[in-house]
Structure 1
């Protein structure tokens, strides 16, 4: 298994991950998110919605894997969007994703990341 996926599983078990469109959007607005991961097979509208929201709130966004891989990594059914709510997990997972050729797009924005 890819290190990024296994790290997502660890974050889920540690309670440092949220999933689902509305839950992730709410957490981003509250400043509780350090990294958002969106599935490569998400709809264009969903991708744009999260790109816009993450850009506005200064949250790093990565597009990686597909909905099946993301769901499987965290022990759930298909997942289109995940958010990491812990800074250390977020940094670790982003590092793994940066090394991964499957990542299509990493958007680094400046904001309140250095907490």
Structure 2
């Protein structure tokens, strides 16, 4: 795992991330600042999340694999993560854009 992804761990420890079904609710509620989606998530999952992000004007980016994303946030089998803090969102989007 890339050491620059440590910011995900900080966001998770600060309870500034959203995963699973609550991710869609956070996007709808306008609390989600940025969404990270695993490249190996199913096409249906990617479409559902990117469509929600587009509709609610939430920026999103992709990370190589769900394993990498899961390790970064310290959870198991994670396909997408919503970042709820503007500072974390800005830093993570910069990292993903390389």
TM-score (norm 1): 0.81
8 A Cα contact 2:62 2:96, kept in partner: no
Aligned length: 97
Question: Larger relative contact order (C-alpha < 8 A, sep ≥ 6)?
Answer: 2
Alignment-derived partner of residue 17 in structure 2:
17
The secondary structure found in structure 2 opposite 1:15 is: coil
Instruction: Tell me the CA shift for residue 23 of structure 1.
Output: 0.7
The secondary structure found in structure 2 opposite 1:11 is: helix
Higher normalized helix content (fraction of residues): 2
Please tell me whether residue 7 in structure 1 is matched to residue 2 in structure 2.
no
RMSD: 0.9
Q: Distance in 2 between matches of 1:8 and 1:40?
A: 17
TM-score (norm 2): 0.94
**Structure 1 stretches lacking a partner, 5+ long:** 100-115
Instruction: Tell me the CA shift for residue 78 of structure 1.
Output: 1.6
Instruction: Tell me the CA shift for residue 65 of structure 1.
Output: 2.1
Segments of 4+ in structure 1 off by > 2 A? none
The secondary structure found in structure 2 opposite 1:76 is: coil
**Structure 2 stretches lacking a partner, 5+ long:** none
